[in-house]
Amino acid sequence: MLISREKQAFSMSPNASSTAAAVSSGRRGNTESSANLTVGHERMANCIRVLAMDAVEQAKSGHPGMPMGMSDVATVLFSRFLKFDPADPAWPDRDRFVLSAGHGSMLIYALLYLTGYASMTIEEIKRFRQLGSKTPGHPENFITPGVETTTGPLGQGLANAVGMAIAEKHLAAEFGDIVNHKTYVIASDGDLMEGVSQEAIALAGHLKLNKLIVLFDDNGISIDGALSLSDSVDQLKRFEAAGWTASRVDGHDPEAIAAALEKAQSSDKPVLIACKTQIGYGAPTKAGKASAHGSPLGAEEIKGARAALEWEHEPFHLPDDELAAWRAVGQRSKQAHADWKKKLTTLDAGKRTEFERRMLGRLPKALGDAVTSVKQSLAATPKSIATRASSEFALESLVPAVPEMIGGSADLTGSNNTRTKTMKAITASDFSGRFIHYGVREHGMAAAMNGMALHGGIIPYSGTFLVFSDYCRPSIRLAALMGERVIHVMTHDSIGLGEDGPTHQPVEHLAALRAIPNILVFRPCDAVETVECWQLALEAKDRPSILALTRQNLPQLRNRFDEENICAQGAYEIAGPDGASDVSIFATGSEVAIAVDAAKLLAAKGVAARVVSVPCFELFFAQPEAKRRAVIGKAKVNVGVEAAVRQGWDAIVGSDGVFVGMSTFGASAPYKELYEHFGITPEGVASAALQKLGKS
């Protein structure tokens, strides 16, 4: 039998305070309800185990092994340490709990049900993995109250948690101890093998995020079998090298787990607790084996597990005492929550209003005024500068007006222009700054930004080169899926960056980003469009945005002050003759000026051409059909111009439209020569249009 009777005896021994005893002992002084002392740790942990194996069995798919293995750890965490209130999953000062190993979703669903989250009923557990349930295959924060972030792609949750811990420290620096919580993570072997985890742990260690506590499911098993097939990293040493404190415990020994967690409470570094566990703990033949990872255990195995766990109850049925003990766990932080609310009322009224505004994700009124003043200034004194510099010019006004904006760059601060003059950097000893030097860690940066946005109270924006959006993409995709407001400033957005050559010149990236649902990809053509796009990105509460910006200077094409945010239409006519046009030229970013010059060349040849700037495909496609048709127009020839691949452009220019752009990788040369070389010039555009008109 795989279950150690010794362990059971130990956890039930009078010296080892049982979970229930801890529940009733008023640990941290926030216990209200008295728990049923007859239910010990093991029985409580077994509630998770049986729910996990039964739900996976019923769904005929899922991952029973991890929840069964980590039940003891999770039981200790939830029943003795985690500050949470099932009645208010959005309590701003709750501890954050991130299940980075999202495949173990039944662990968190069981915990939410057991501790009394209203939306997590036993019916939902029975509907595990079914359409419309609160129990999807992997945890989705936008479906299930109590789930802090969407996990499944390994490594992401851990890296999100780093962002949450940064957010906590930053907000605490600003608002005081109204913000004072921990961030706990359960991470698996897979989480730690993923590259993003290295970026995340290095950043966490550097910033000394001592309220971040990672519980590593150190089970030595992954899908292919023993971890030794593919990994021999000493994780403790690895974390220690990154500035963490690390220890290893028996993940089935509640007191050892509790002692490690207790010690972690006062750490001055982020904490790794490697919990040695047995995957599928309780399953008679599959425990400790990869076969427990991701398939139903099967009727026989479940029968054996029930016997081993001494669990005589029907599937999905929990005895009253066990459920009562768990529900008491859900009440543990009631007093802490009430105290917190009281404390909030003692906060200075202005500060309190500001805190609440930020946590609700509402923008300050000052944003509109800041945008207007930037636009007025640009109308009075036009700027022919790179859009990355226009972005910096906008940020000089936006950052003071929107205090929840936290900027950063992945070691390209001077190139991305994301740091304004007054922005102070966040450091390990002072989190009051508003700029993060993420280091050369694009993936970790994007994942941490998701965590900051998820935490609430912060709108993170980043900086890197557009070509490295590939390095951020997994997290950008998740931001889009979750509907999180994160803003990526991505400069050097085409062959226009010049000499660095094709490794640095994005070609397919705009199309690839536009392919992600629920994202806004902005490519402004001048300083005015840039500030308008910034405003739209900030106002897009439920989706991430990309600002693709140039390295090279561009003329300011919009010299009139418009109160209205014209980029909100996604596409609009920026230049054109009074009457009908033979040619419509659609362009984005740096190519809009080229299109305007092409229209002039065409006019000189007696061909009327209009130019439509398309700063944002997604906003344009969201316009009513009549509006879209009007912007597309009825010219004989449509031409699209973008220094990137054609993919996606047919939706605007039509499949018989002309496209002037890139169909190969770029090259290393001064940028003007590259534009000539690849034919993305006013002459090239005009001649393509004439050819299509049959006039060449």
Ligand X SMILES: Cc1ncc(C[n+]2csc(CCOP(=O)(O)OP(=O)(O)O)c2C)c(N)n1
Q: Which stretch binds ligand X (CB under 6 A): 73-81, 187-195, 379-387, 647-655?
A: 187-195
Bridge partners of 611, per DSSP, are 575, 585
Q: CA-to-CA distance for 394 and 371, rounded, in angstroms?
A: 8
Bridge partners of 547, per DSSP, are 489, 522
CA distances from 92 to 74, 95, 341, 447, 608 (A): 22, 9, 10, 20, 58
Q: Which of 160, 152, 222, 161 is nearest to 193 (CA)?
A: 222
Q: Which residue has the tokens 């109590």?
A: 146
Does 64 bind ligand X (CB under 6 A)? Our answer is no
- Find out whether 518 and 483 touch, Cβ atoms under 8 Å: yes
Among residues 154, 257, 467, 476, which is the contact residue for ligand X, using CB under 6 A? 154
AA letter at 538: L
Does 223 bind ligand X (CB under 6 A)? Our answer is yes
Structure letter (DSSP) for residue 670: -
Q: CA-to-CA distance for 307 and 302, rounded, in angstroms?
A: 9
Q: Which does 552 bind (CB under 5 to 8 A by kind): Mg ion, ligand X, none?
A: none
Q: Which does 147 bind (CB under 5 to 8 A by kind): ligand X, Mg ion, none?
A: none
Does 153 bind ligand X (CB under 6 A)? Our answer is yes
> Residue 45 contacts by C-beta under 8 Å, 6 or more apart in sequence?
71, 72, 74, 75, 254
CA distances from 121 to 97, 109, 117, 142, 328 (A): 20, 9, 8, 17, 17
Phi then psi dihedrals of residue 184, to 5 deg: -105, 145
Q: In what order do the strands lie in the sheet with 96-99?
A: 96-99, 183-188, 212-218, 271-276, 245-250
First to last CA, the chain: 85
CB of 229 to ligand X, least distance (A): 11
Among residues 16, 23, 221, 405, which is the contact residue for ligand X, using CB under 6 A? 221
Structure letter (DSSP) for residue 551: S
Q: Which stretch binds Mg ion (CB under 5 A): 185-193, 202-210, 545-553, 559-567?
A: 185-193
Restricting to residues 337-396, which ones interact with ligand X according to CB under 6 A?
A: none
Among residues 202, 279, 283, 601, which is the contact residue for ligand X, using CB under 6 A? 279
Is 442 known to be catalytic? yes
Does 189 bind ligand X (CB under 6 A)? Our answer is yes
Q: Which stretch binds Mg ion (CB under 5 A): 181-189, 427-435, 563-571, 623-631?
A: 181-189
Q: CA-to-CA distance for 128 and 120, rounded, in angstroms?
A: 11
- Find out whether 67 and 107 touch, Cβ atoms under 8 Å: yes
Q: Which does 66 bind (CB under 5 to 8 A by kind): Mg ion, ligand X, none?
A: ligand X
Does 226 bind ligand X (CB under 6 A)? Our answer is no
Does 257 bind ligand X (CB under 6 A)? Our answer is no
Among residues 64, 86, 163, 190, which is the contact residue for ligand X, using CB under 6 A? 190
Structure letter (DSSP) for residue 248: E
Does 292 bind Mg ion (CB under 5 A)? Our answer is no
**Which of 57, 124, 442, 591 is labelled catalytic?**
442
Q: Which of 350, 358, 378, 356 is nearest to 534 (CA)?
A: 378
Q: Which does 690 bind (CB under 5 to 8 A by kind): ligand X, Mg ion, none?
A: none
Q: Which does 211 bind (CB under 5 to 8 A by kind): Mg ion, ligand X, none?
A: none
CB of 670 to ligand X, least distance (A): 40
CB of 265 to Mg ion, least distance (A): 26
Nearer to ligand X, 168 or 217 (CB): 217
CA distances from 694 to 582, 584, 594, 637, 680 (A): 12, 15, 22, 10, 20
Residue nearest to Mg ion (CB): 189
Among residues 86, 152, 408, 615, which is the contact residue for ligand X, using CB under 6 A? 152
Q: Which of 311, 315, 312 is nearest to 56 (CA)?
A: 315
Among residues 147, 162, 165, 221, which is the contact residue for Mg ion, using CB under 5 A? 221
Helix (H) or strand (E) segment spanning residue 640: strand 637-641
Nearer to Mg ion, 233 or 515 (CB): 233
Pairing between strand 221-222 and 225-226?
A: antiparallel
Among residues 43, 293, 306, 477, which is the contact residue for ligand X, using CB under 6 A? 293
AA letter at 417: N
Restricting to residues 545-564, which ones interact with Mg ion according to CB under 5 A?
A: none
Does 222 bind ligand X (CB under 6 A)? Our answer is yes
Does 219 bind Mg ion (CB under 5 A)? Our answer is yes
Q: Which stretch binds Mg ion (CB under 5 A): 220-228, 236-244, 659-667, 680-688?
A: 220-228
Does 189 bind Mg ion (CB under 5 A)? Our answer is yes
How many Cα atoms sit within 13 Å of 293 on the Cβ side?
18
- Find out whether 237 and 293 touch, Cβ atoms under 8 Å: no
CB of 280 to Mg ion, least distance (A): 11
Nearer to ligand X, 52 or 459 (CB): 52
Does 129 bind ligand X (CB under 6 A)? Our answer is no
Structure letter (DSSP) for residue 34: P
- Find out whether 481 and 488 touch, Cβ atoms under 8 Å: no
Does 149 bind ligand X (CB under 6 A)? Our answer is no
Q: Which does 154 bind (CB under 5 to 8 A by kind): ligand X, Mg ion, none?
A: ligand X
CB of 292 to ligand X, least distance (A): 8
Q: Which does 101 bind (CB under 5 to 8 A by kind): Mg ion, ligand X, none?
A: ligand X
Among residues 103, 129, 375, 485, which is the contact residue for ligand X, using CB under 6 A? 103
CB of 236 to ligand X, least distance (A): 16
CB of 306 to ligand X, least distance (A): 21
CB of 680 to ligand X, least distance (A): 37
Nearer to Mg ion, 13 or 230 (CB): 230
Among residues 40, 65, 304, 666, which is the contact residue for ligand X, using CB under 6 A? 65
Query: Contacts by 618-621 with C-beta closer than 8 Å and gap 24+?
Result: 618/514, 618/519, 618/520, 618/521, 618/570, 619/520, 619/536, 619/567, 619/568, 619/569, 619/570, 620/569, 620/570, 620/571, 620/652, 621/570, 621/651
Residue nearest to ligand X (CB): 190
User: Which residues are designated catalytic?
Assistant: 442
Residues contributing to the site for ligand X (CB under 6 A): 65-66, 101, 103-104, 152-154, 188-190, 194, 217, 219, 221-223, 279, 293
Residues contributing to the site for Mg ion (CB under 5 A): 188-189, 219, 221-222
